[in-house]
Structure 1
Amino acid sequence: MADSRPPQLRRNLSIWQAIGLSVALMAPSMAANINPQVTASTVGRAVPLTFLLAGIGVLLVGYGFVRMCQYYQHAGSVYAFVGSTLGPRVGAISGAALFATYTFFGVVTSCAFGILGSDFLNTIGIWSNPPSWAPYLLAAISLAGCLVLTIIPAKRGTTMLLSIEGATIVLILLVCAVVLVRLLAGNTPAGSGHTFTMKVFAIEPGTGVSTLFLGIVFAFLSFAGFEASSTLGEETAEPRKNIPRAILGTAIFGTVFFTVVTAIEVMGFGAGPSGVKAYASSSSLVGDLGRSFVASWVGDVITLGAAISAFGCCLACMVGASRLMYAIARDAGGERGLASVTREGTPGVAATTVACLMGLIILIDALAFGAKTEDAFAWSGTIGTLIILVVYVLTTIGAIRLLFVQRKLPVPMYEIVVPILALVVLGYTLYRNVLPYPASNTPAFWFPIVAGGWLVVCAVAVIAAPGTAARLGERLATEDGIAGDLDEVAAK
């Protein structure tokens, strides 16, 4: 008799494919080339310090994700983690928040693809002096390509993207090694006068701690996605072991990589005011260093690799967001509509919806606010990071309850210090990015409003639909590998 059950997600991924999703969403080669400029405009030469502090915060947050994934395996990631510890309503809010983050980050990375791609085409002479709309065109191509690869996954294509990411990371490290050696030897490009200095880890006089934490937001953006493999809990072999390894390994690598690379970048451009200004206006940081310290073709290759990395990151955002939408829709209403699965075992309807939302955000930025691609990149990055910090807070609180209140895993009590420190770092970063509130005549005025507005809308929607919340609680307690107590979850 034929199996009448609807298609399900398949457990056919290895630990390296799980790591690949986290690395792809974090996109270190893209992030090292295009993210630190925004931080430099806030904290000056102290960019590496912000990345080091953000890395420590990410490692603290990673503790909660690692422990949660040792107990739960669910395509909904934080939706399931928080829903089974703090209640289905809070879980739905956190899942919708992470969905929004991945959606905004899809905008960030598609715009990054446009910026880096147009810079590469201009540099090599294929499209000299491209018009202002050129990056938007490339961003649209990126979204379309990612949608195809999300619905009809091409494992060879995905493997190729990860291979290019890995090769670009290696090339970046080689360029950074050359730059460091030349700085130490005093053999810098003619007229630069740049030297090795540890001042890049010290804030400039007059820069307060609150300003430092404003800069940390875009450092957090560079790490965002380290937890993406948690959405593959239903598709990865031995998930209790492999998913935590993927998350922790990605977080450790990101901390070391970003701290070292940004330090060498700042020194390569120069830690003085003129160097910081040039750093903040660069369209491809390591690409520019490769051109000036090594050879022009090296810089071009790095810029191309970073553009491909941005495409891979956009693909990972679409994959992560579509899995979250699929999981919540499935638990709320069954396997239909947004929760339907293609014959290839992918959430096709959810993926199409995600791609359309990403495109809509770009259209609103460009048409309603006259944003350049760089503006859409920075705006969506800040909004997405503010939202994901709230997600990290909820996940950390859920981990505390799972481990130290419910005692579902045999964990020493003294380890509670780790998630508490994570809450301190996250809370202070959020506080300093909301208060003092940005001036009304700046784009930053709208960032907390959009981020907070999304969370409020989600909360109102969940509260207004108690029947849906009950179904979510029942599903979390009885299916999908969630080992919860139905009565305890439904009571929340």
Structure 2
Amino acid sequence: MPRSGLRVKSPDLLVAESGADREGHGLQRTIGPFQLVCFGIGAIVGTGIFVGLSDTVAEAGPAVIVSFLLAALTCVFTAFSFAELGGAIPVSGSSYSYAYATLGERAAFLVGWCLLLEYGVSVSAVSIGWGQYLNELLENTVGWHIPAALADAPGHGGVVNVPAVIVMLLAAALLVRGVRESARATAAMAVIKVGILVLFCAIAFTAYDAGNLSPFAPEGIGGIGAGASLAFFSFIGFDAISTAGEEVKNPRRNIPLAILITIGCVALLYCLVSVAALGAMPWEQVGGKPAALSLIVNHATGSAFGSSVIAVGAVVAIASVVLAVMYGQTRILMSMSRDGLVPGVFERISPKTSTPVANTWIVSLVFAVPAAVVPLDVVLDMTVIGTLAVMAVVNICVIALRRSRPGLPRRFRVPLYPVAPLLGVAFCLYLMYGLPLVTWLQFAVFLLAGALVYTLYGRRRSRLATGGEDGKDGEDGEDGDASEPVTPRARG
């Protein structure tokens, strides 16, 4: 029998437990392929390009284009892995569930713990960026801005970031109404923000000067690598598509398709934006500046009207990321709760809206705290290292699942296997290497805390270990081998 931390949960059991017809209280399959692609774009395009571009430029200079390509390449290899796993195991748990099916319960819990950084902490980072463009919009339209004390974190001239809290609460209010309404809102916002970025490129190219791209790499290879680590934040969120596995029509086909289309569209868009931005304005004047896209449009047009349009797009874009990423976090916690590894409140589904209402409000309130009082750069680095760690594990999961379940139906298979997933791991580790030492130390403490929580709470309450629904029927879970399919008990 496997040790408690090594017990795995078979893909068959994961899929069986995720059935949407569980006594009428399950999640409903209402998301089509177009909405799913829009959801993916909605989860990605936001703070990273509208706010984080200037920080990436400060590290890499005009070579930020290469930094974006490196980050995109990392995501492409990992996207292949997500596409295969999302089609083979179409459940809401995403990388947490994939780790549970391949690497064991302890690894799965730590992946879920790291997903608190990718989804929970990142939604805090995204919300912080929302306030910057909201202020830009207010100044350009009504000549008023939110006082710094209420728009910035302590240490950055403020006391509490009120706009960040407001956008999170608004997103939670929409999410609890129902996934259909949320998907429609996300699709509409995705179309708007892509249109705004295309408009930005059209305006910026009118002021294009090739001389602004020279010298191309003023900070050398080190600057490109550091820029790629920051640029990666701009791509975070594409894996949120896989968290919708239980609410997608024909998930085995549509999840892999949506992941690959989303990454391709976003990578192309980001490269166009970075070329247009740095061709229009010297990188020294862009690096480190807040609301950089608005600044560039003002420079190109000589008026504030264009920047007002960009600010509108940024406000919409970042709000849609908050919505999509918060959705992903609630579904991850729901899957962990279903397994008994976190409290049962996170898996309760409202029979009226078919959404995890309590889960959604808890997530919004808890992560509103760092959004209100923590500077953007702090939460950004922790989000990046946590996400890269998870993505490295997902690439390993593909290899492990190919070995343990070679006959499992897969609508998509990773090309150039096993080279592609191994390259995915290598690129993730390379980008992690570019992060500051203090971020590594913070991440190590975070992982130790997660291991402690699993040991004291999750290990003994695991439903896979106990064979029960309340986590109290067994002792140490030494008999928790789920290598064979098991019929799940119904839950109300």
TM-score by length of 1: 0.82
Deviations 1:310-344 (A, max 9, x none): 11111112111111111101221799422111120
- Residue 427 of structure 2 is aligned to residue 422 of structure 1: no
1:353 maps to what in 2?
362
Higher helix share goes to which structure? 1
User: Counterparts of 1:86-125 in structure 2 under 5 Å?
Assistant: 86-125=103-142
- Residue 396 of structure 2 is aligned to residue 403 of structure 1: no
2:440 maps to what in 1?
448
Give 1:59 shift.
0.2
Q: Which amino acid aligns with 1:456?
A: L
1:58 maps to what in 2?
75
Say which is worse superposed, 101-110 or 210-219, in terms of deviation.
210-219
Equivalent pair of 2:64/2:224 in contact (CA under 8 Å): no
Give 1:17 shift.
2.2
What's the RMSD between the two structures over aligned residues? 2.9
- SS of the residue 2:25 aligns to: coil
- Residue 205 of structure 2 is aligned to residue 180 of structure 1: yes
Instruction: Check 1:357–1:77 CA distance in 2 against 1; reply closer, same or farther (3 A cut).
Output: same
Equivalent pair of 1:26/1:222 in contact (CA under 8 Å): yes
Instruction: Check 1:160–1:149 CA distance in 2 against 1; reply closer, same or farther (3 A cut).
Output: closer
Structure 2 CA distance for aligned equivalents of residues 154 and 423 of structure 1: 33
Deviations 1:247-279 (A, max 9, x none): 111111121111121121112112xxxxx2320
2:15 maps to what in 1?
none
2:217 maps to what in 1?
203
Structure 2 CA distance for aligned equivalents of residues 412 and 56 of structure 1: 15
1:280 maps to what in 2?
287
Equivalent pair of 1:122/1:130 in contact (CA under 8 Å): no
Give 1:158 shift.
5.0
Give 1:162 shift.
3.2
Structure 2 CA distance for aligned equivalents of residues 420 and 238 of structure 1: 29
- Residue 345 of structure 2 is aligned to residue 337 of structure 1: yes
**Structure 2 unaligned runs (5+)?**
1-20, 153-160, 469-480, 487-492
Structure 1 CA distance for aligned equivalents of residues 31 and 295 of structure 2: 37
Structure 2 CA distance for aligned equivalents of residues 349 and 100 of structure 1: 20
1:386 maps to what in 2?
385
Aligned counterpart for 1:461 among listed residues 441, 446, 453: 453
Deviations 1:29-69 (A, max 9, x none): x4322111111222222211100111011101111101101
Instruction: Check 1:251–1:157 CA distance in 2 against 1; reply closer, same or farther (3 A cut).
Output: closer
1:36 maps to what in 2?
53
Instruction: Check 1:360–1:287 CA distance in 2 against 1; reply closer, same or farther (3 A cut).
Output: same
Instruction: Check 1:152–1:212 CA distance in 2 against 1; reply closer, same or farther (3 A cut).
Output: same
- SS of the residue 1:332 aligns to: coil
Instruction: Check 1:473–1:72 CA distance in 2 against 1; reply closer, same or farther (3 A cut).
Output: farther
Aligned counterpart for 1:165 among listed residues 190, 196, 203: 190
Deviations 1:97-119 (A, max 9, x none): 11332111111111111111012
Give 1:208 shift.
4.3
**Structure 1 unaligned runs (5+)?**
184-193, 271-275, 366-375, 438-444, 476-484
Give 1:21 shift.
2.2
Share of identical aligned residues, percent?
A: 20
Count of residues paired in the alignment = 442
2:270 maps to what in 1?
258
Structure 2 CA distance for aligned equivalents of residues 152 and 459 of structure 1: 35
Equivalent pair of 1:77/1:95 in contact (CA under 8 Å): no
1:237 maps to what in 2?
249
Equivalent pair of 1:106/1:318 in contact (CA under 8 Å): yes
Q: Which amino acid aligns with 2:460?
A: G
TM-score by length of 2: 0.82
2:259 maps to what in 1?
247
- Residue 131 of structure 2 is aligned to residue 138 of structure 1: no
2:237 maps to what in 1?
225
Instruction: Check 1:13–1:353 CA distance in 2 against 1; reply closer, same or farther (3 A cut).
Output: same
Equivalent pair of 2:62/2:278 in contact (CA under 8 Å): yes
